[in-house]
Amino acid sequence: MIKQTEEAICPDLPVIPEYTVMITDYGAVGDGVYDNAQAFHQAIEACAKAGGGKVVIPPGIWHTGPLTLQSRIELHASAGALVMFSKQFEDYPIRMSAYEGRQMFRCQSPLDGEGLEDIAITGSGIFDGGGEAWRPVKQGKLTESQWDRLIHTGGVVDEEGLWWPTPAARDGKENLARIEQTGSRNPQDYEPVRDYLRPNLLSLRNCKRILLSGPTFQNSAAWCLHPWASEQITIQNITVRNPWYAQNGDGLDIDSCKYVIVENSSFDVGDDAICLKSGKNEAGRLLGKPSERISIRNCTVYHGHGGIVIGSEMSGGIKDVHVSDCTFIGTDIGIRFKSCRGRGGVVENIFIERIRMRDIDGDAISFNLYYEGKAGSGEYQAEAMLPVTEETPVFRNIVIQDIVCSGAHTALLINGLPEMPVEKVTVMRSAITSREGIVCRNGKNLTIQDMVLRNQDNPLLLFHQSRNV
């Protein structure tokens, strides 16, 4: 059934009229200094008024503020084009967006659009989000000389040894919570925490027919690419790069979207690389838009907290997903499922095959229902069974096969909930070299077949509170 689903996934491509404008026609200067925000705006506006078409960015270094995209527009970054987004926080208006599983006020994304149809970003140029101006940095992730250079650029260090660009960014979490408690829908009320509201590099919300083909997207302030509540999405031949230490430096977050193909792309990022989400807790359940009908194939991940990740924000559900022919090198976890009590939602009908992994720091394959927002798998918590409610996450009907992993800490980890075990998981035809073998707690109706395990530590298999294995 899942393979038939993959064949049925063929997103409609955007329809872009045969009309072209150059940003240089509107006074753009590619010297890396001139502010081209007005030129970009005028070029996009002129193209939209003509009924749509292609806005071409020629070779050069193009400094600009955030760009508001429009329907029936293709933004084409030519080879040799480097778009450098502003590092001045005041250039980014505060507006309603979506982040970490809920709708909330954020600074406008450098590449931003809502309620659009037929949008394309193409070419072989580079879009750089200037993320180093926004992101906090953990001292432990830099060498001593790197840390010294960073703190001498300015900013402040908090009590936990985390560098922030400004005091307002450092205090932003606490102050944001106070503002949100008032229920304010006025963007002006959020100005005091502007420095904390880091934008995703690309945010496309409630859009149809999206194409990302060719460019490099890098150095985002938060997540790199975030389509939300959108459909008919094609992502191909792109490169996504963030520093390995980038806080919240996800590569691609497909969030409450349907009919999606991701193929022939590479990721080297600071958090989860390719991630499927559908909202967090009550907000996700109320939105009720699952991520579904998704195919991911022929992609490479060089660094990330997970190669392919489902969760932890999955409260609207994730289903009918096919992942194939990918390579993960040096990720914290390879194939990663994560959630926790409170989420609710159902993850089902997931088919993953022909994945190659090397030098995985944690688990080659991981199901962790005790995820608390920390890197790695998290610790299993032996505790009493709780009642099953709408807040109980469900993971079931998952097939993983033809996996080769050369080096991991644990071959397969399943940490299910006592009241809702991870159910109907099949892992077969795989060879994994790891320190530990299979660790399964609270699993039900599991099939492990034709596996070759080479591990250093005993026991090879550890099962606890599991049934029908």
Active site residues: 271, 305
Retrieve residue 6's tokens: 């993959």
CB atoms closer than 10 angstroms to residue 200: 27
Strand ranges of the sheet holding 137-138, from the earlier edge strand across to the other edge: 137-138, 162-164, 156-157
- What are the residue ranges of helices labelled H in 280-405? 281-287
Picking from 111, 43, 13, 113, the residue whose alpha carbon sits closest to that of residue 71 is 113
* Contact present, 131 and 221 (Cβ < 8 Å): yes
Q: How far apart are CA 57 and CA 52, in angstroms?
A: 16
How many CA atoms, within 13 angstroms, populate the side-chain half-sphere of residue 217? 33
How long a stretch of residues is the chain? Answer: 469
* Contact present, 70 and 44 (Cβ < 8 Å): yes
The phi, psi pair for 47, rounded to 5°, reads -65, -40
Instruction: Report the b/e string of 184-197 with b at 16+ CB within 10 A.
Output: eeeeeebeebbbbb
- 3-class state of residue 449 by DSSP: strand
How many CA atoms, within 13 angstroms, populate the side-chain half-sphere of residue 74? 22
Q: What share of the chain is helix, strand, coil (3-state, %, to 5)?
A: 15, 45, 40
**What kind and span of H or E run contains 366?**
strand 363-368
Picking from 179, 98, 85, the residue whose alpha carbon sits closest to that of residue 132 is 85
* Contact present, 361 and 334 (Cβ < 8 Å): no
Amino acid at 199: P
Task: Find where tokens 């689903």 sit.
Answer: 5
* Contact present, 113 and 70 (Cβ < 8 Å): yes
